[in-house]
Amino acid sequence: MKKILAAYDGSKESEKAVLTAISLAREFGSSLTVIAVIPEPYLAEVVEFDRMRIIDTLSKDAKNALAGLRERATGVARIKTLIKFGSPAVEILDAAEKIKASLVVTGSHGRHGARRFLLGSVSSKIVDNAPCSVLVVK
């Protein structure tokens, strides 16, 4: 397992997933890339200026969170962080292909049954479309 990609979205589940990825990277001597994807706010009633302020705030929050996770990754030889904008599943899958990931680690929000079918799930899309193995952490 040479390259691990871990997805982070600010949730407790994704933090647990990143910590699992850090442990795996330590154990196997793998490089680790942690990605945070900021979804585009589609708010018709929000003016462009406010939309940009929302994106800026979310970007700063993601940058700070990734810096904190990076500090916790002691013992991982190679670690990178990425912040992307767009559809989380699409950006994570794109990053997995670009870095030629051996493993994608993502959190689960526990959506099951009809709710999962109706709402969709980032982790489900990753499992279904990833170019490599996927570990979903609960």
Q: What is the pLDDT of residues 77-100, one digit of tens each?
A: 899 999 999 899 999 999 999 999
What local confidence, expressed as pLDDT, does residue 111 receive? 41
- The C-alpha R_g of the chain, in whole angstroms, comes to 15
Q: Model's pTM, two decimal places?
A: 0.86
Residue 25, both tokens: 């990277």
Question: Confidence class of residue 117 from pLDDT cuts 50, 70 and 90?
Answer: very low
Higher-scoring residue by pLDDT: 128, 46 = 128
**Is the pLDDT at 115 greater than 50, yes or no?**
no
In angstroms, rounded to a whole number, what is the distance separating the alpha carbons of residues 120 and 131? Answer: 20
For residue 44, what are its two tokens?
A: 């018709």
Fold of 3-137: Rossmann fold (3.40.50)
pLDDT digits (tens, 9 = 90+) for 3-51: 999 999 988 889 999 999 999 999 999 999 999 998 876 655 667 777 7
The DSSP bridge partners found for residue 98 are none
Q: Which residues contact 65 (CB under 8 A, 6 or more apart)?
A: 8, 10, 36
Scan for tokens 């890339």, then name that residue: 33
Higher pLDDT, 68 or 117: 68
Q: What is the pLDDT of residue 53?
A: 85
Domain coordinates of the chain in residue numbers?
A: 3-137
